[in-house]
Chain A
Amino acid sequence: MKRKLVVIGNGMAGARLVEEILLRGGKEHFDIVMFGDEPYGNYNRILLSNVLAGAHDPKDIFINPLRWYEDNDIVLHAGVRATSVDREARVVHGSNGVAEPYDDLVFALGSAPFIPRIEGTKKEGVFVFRTLDDCDAILKYAEGRKSAAIIGGGLLGLEAARGLLLRGLEVHVVHLMTHLMELQLDKMAGAILRRTLIDMGLRIHLEKATCELTGNGKVTGLRFQDGGTLDCDMVVISAGIRPNTDLARAAGLTVARGIVVGDDLASPEDSRIFAIGECAEHAGKTYGLVAPLWDQARVLAERLSQRRPDATYHGSRVATKLKVMGVDLAVMGDREVAGPDDEEITYAESQRGVYKKVIVRDGRIVGAIVLGDPSCTPGLVQAFDRGAEVPDNRAELLFQLDGGAPGKGGARPEDLPDDTQICDCNGVSKGQIVQAVHKGARSLKLLCDATRAGTGCGTCKKQVEALLEYAAGDSKMEDPSVHYYVPGVPLRKSDLVEEIRARGLKSVSSVFVALADGKEDPASKPGLASLLKTIWAKDYVDERDARFINDRVHANIQRDATFSVIPRIYGGVTSPDQLRAIANAADKYDAKMVKITGGQRIDLLGIKKEDLPHVWRDLGMPSGHAYTKAFRTCKTCVGTDFCRYGVGDSTELGILIEKRFQGIESPHKMKLATAGCPRNCSEATTKDLGAVALEGGLWEIYIGGAAGSRVRKGDVLCTVDSHEDVLHYMGRFMQYYRENAKYLERTYDFVERVGIEKVRAVVVDDSEGIGARLDAEIAAAVEAYVDPWQETPHVTQFADTLVPPPASGRELRGELVQLRARASGE
């Protein structure tokens, strides 16, 4: 039985909530009805200033046109004001006489402009700036006028000022306080912004209290409390906002500044009634920016859609990126230091209009203001959001010290021409990406699915995201599945692991039945298989259909549907006998290419699927796992036996490592190397795990190195003095990575995400007391290893043809075949 959800308010909060609910399959749970005061669909209110400035056509700022509501079976009462809520009968009454019963009710009424006590505000030519209709009226009146005064030097007032300035008017900003945007900026930032804005042509009047709007019928000027006056042809009042609470108060709900809600976003009076957005007050706070509203919409959608019925909202750490009259501004957290222990790092360059300030408390960012230079903003926002420890050299917070990447990587998305190729794997241009966003792909996942950008090596994903932000602005969505371990099971990794253990789910199909309503998402199968194997080791119930083809046939599929076969050559050390076996197999099974790999092994390419088991048998060597998300290989240099520089036996160590960890499944592949001296010939410092010998019998263990689509030098985990210790810490790290990384997260992303200090504390210092357990788990995984080339597959897994005699008449016998390249002429 579907419930009926009524949302009062069709602004950014209300419509966003409904979008979030739809993303979580909400159509199956709810019939949705919305009341919208304005006779339109839902538009991006933040872009109104661009409409005022003439940069956007009104139709460009719609997030959801009326058609969207129809397509999603949402009943929208557009242009209908909700006039009362009867909580007893659970009915909402509308201004047109409509009565909508509800099971769940959400107030998303936003706020209204605050009109200060000033005489003459009813005069012709006096406006507020909140809606599309306000915008329209301002523009019509401004036609042919010379000057305008904006009362209020906050964000919205300055946006209105920019609009009218660009329309050719002389614009005065009249502000009560000592500096502009005092809610967001400190005094210094306000002063630098003021200078920048004056250079742009704005007239700014600070510490001016307006007491009267003068003029006979039409406004012609302002009179200030200090007796001064200012002539102008029109006035826009932008002196703050007040949450819309009348309807809730009349319905008997608790209202303070906003409609009071708890962590469940429900009214304490009525558990069926919720409030979000500017009209809501949580923990004594109301919010006027868009980010907290998104957080609230997401939490409420999780609750209402039953994805996480116990989801709670705990306030928002607000980090906001804005443009003030075209000037980049980012603000987050505290505006001023709170005490003598807070540390303040500042940089000011008034000539360029640049100001940066970071407030650090207990080694973490608690506030920042960045004006006029957005280059350091993403890093700051990330560090702030995650509560990450700041670097010892605080300057790294304010400046890009690595010089940044030249070319398109460093360019801002808006500066790139449309035909710039963004995804170099799939050849997707900026223009295609932006177009897909405008067609509705407003989450990173939808956008990647729609354009295939970012689905190859993944390096361009950050740029795709930047383009999404540029093209969608605040209407950007986050697909809830980005937080899930796999997209098809709505749980984070830690919750998923807990459920799997608690319910004893040992096969992939049992996970879908228990945790995803039986819906088997194909893209989620390999990730689940990997996780289950990590959790259950030899008790894992293997289902071959959950495996990618490579893992069904233990070889790597090639573009022509043939396979690559790489036998294991421990530490890259082979023998004439092995080489003869490889050469014989290559001849006998007609390998199209025999190639030395970068991992010091030999690859037979162009092998037919039906030949794979025969090749393995003839080789008499174990699988090299060069096709799967697992320990791949350990590359070695010559070490001490022959090399005149070697100080550690890197070949012996490499062989030991490879023999112990061969085939260990992990969230992504692990490539290793050992180097016999710091010359690092085997490139151990840029491997997932590496060991470098130092003079004195020591080994430096590196983790999180990369030399693929990204290049990153690994971090030193620890320095030890025996081969056994190298194996010990490598194994412990591997298990920690196996348990805590997301699926397809390489070690270098994992180590960066968790932080090397944390990894080192857990793995080396055993700060969480889990060291012995990690050791036991990895030992169990090593124990459970079997060479996959020895297993017995399904009878037709490798089958070429079954050729029964043809039957007569209409019933004919079909043959089972192995597809082969047509191009190769077979």
Chain B
Amino acid sequence: MSTWNLGSVERIALGEGRTFRAGDLEVAVFRTRAGQLFATQARCPHKQGPLADGIVGAERVVCPLHAYSFDLRTGCATRESCANLRTYGVEVTGDGDVLLHVDNEQCG
């Protein structure tokens, strides 16, 4: 398990996502209007769309390329229409920094 500090939560606009690199790993981190944070693999399993550029709401993200949609909590694709996303643990420190937790076998 390794932990990455992604910097201030303000780097992610409210209700949107941003792509981060943690070592060799690309991760999409989402910040919902309700104040929750979620982290998933950065690209859509369908055609590699950049998920951080998707639209977020009700704990789901919709890929900007072909509108496949995923549960941010579990990574599951809506109605099994696509492969599921890998998800990562993410939290905010008292200073407002985003910490990303990655299991070592998830790297790369």
Contacts and interface: CB of A to CB of B under 8 A. Distances in A.
Contacts of B33: 509, 520, 545
Contacts of B20: 814-817
B58 A810 contact: no
Interface in A783-815: 794-797, 799, 801-802, 804, 807, 810-815
Given A794-B13, A816-B11, 19 more contacts: A488-B57, A519-B58, A521-B57, A522-B58, A544-B16, A545-B13, A549-B55, A559-B47, A795-B11, A801-B21, A811-B5, A812-B2, A812-B23, A813-B6, A814-B5, A817-B19, A819-B43, A819-B50, A819-B52
B55 A817 contact: no
Nearest to A801: B21
B24 to A, nearest CB: 11
Interface string B89-108: 00000000000100000000
A92 B33 CA distance: 47
Interface residues of B, number: 46
Interface stretch (A41-49, A136-144, A449-457): A449-457
Contacts of A509: 15, 33
A813 B4 CA distance: 6
A544 B32 CA distance: 12
A822 interface: yes
Q: Which of B16, B23, B57, B61 has the most CB of A within 10 A?
A: B57
Contacts of A812: 2-5, 22-23
Q: Interface of chain A, helix or strand or loop or mixed?
A: loop
B86 interface: no
B5 A819 contact: no
A60 interface: no
A624 interface: no
Contact of A813 (B5, B14, B19): B5
A557 interface: yes
A795 B6 CA distance: 15
B3 A810 contact: yes
A819 B42 contact: yes
Contacts of A796: 11-13, 18
B14 A545 contact: yes
A816 B61 CA distance: 19
B28 to A, nearest CB: 9
29 contacts: A488-B58, A509-B15, A519-B58, A520-B57, A520-B58, A521-B57, A522-B56, A523-B69, A544-B15, A544-B16, A545-B15, A545-B16, A549-B55, A559-B47, A561-B48, A561-B49, A796-B13, A799-B11, A802-B11, A810-B2, A811-B5, A813-B6, A814-B5, A816-B7, A816-B18, A817-B20, A817-B21, A819-B42, A822-B48
Contacts of B22: 812, 814
A814 B100 contact: yes
A818 B52 CA distance: 9
A822 B42 CA distance: 13
Given A559-B65, A810-B3, A812-B23, A797 B13 contact: yes
Contacts of B55: 522-523, 525-526, 545-546, 548-549
B23 to A, nearest CB: 7
Contacts of B12: 796
A543 interface: yes
Interface string A132-166: 00000000000000000000000000000000000
A549 B52 CA distance: 9
Contacts of B52: 819
B64 A549 contact: yes
Interface in B52-77: 52-58, 60-62, 64-65, 67, 69
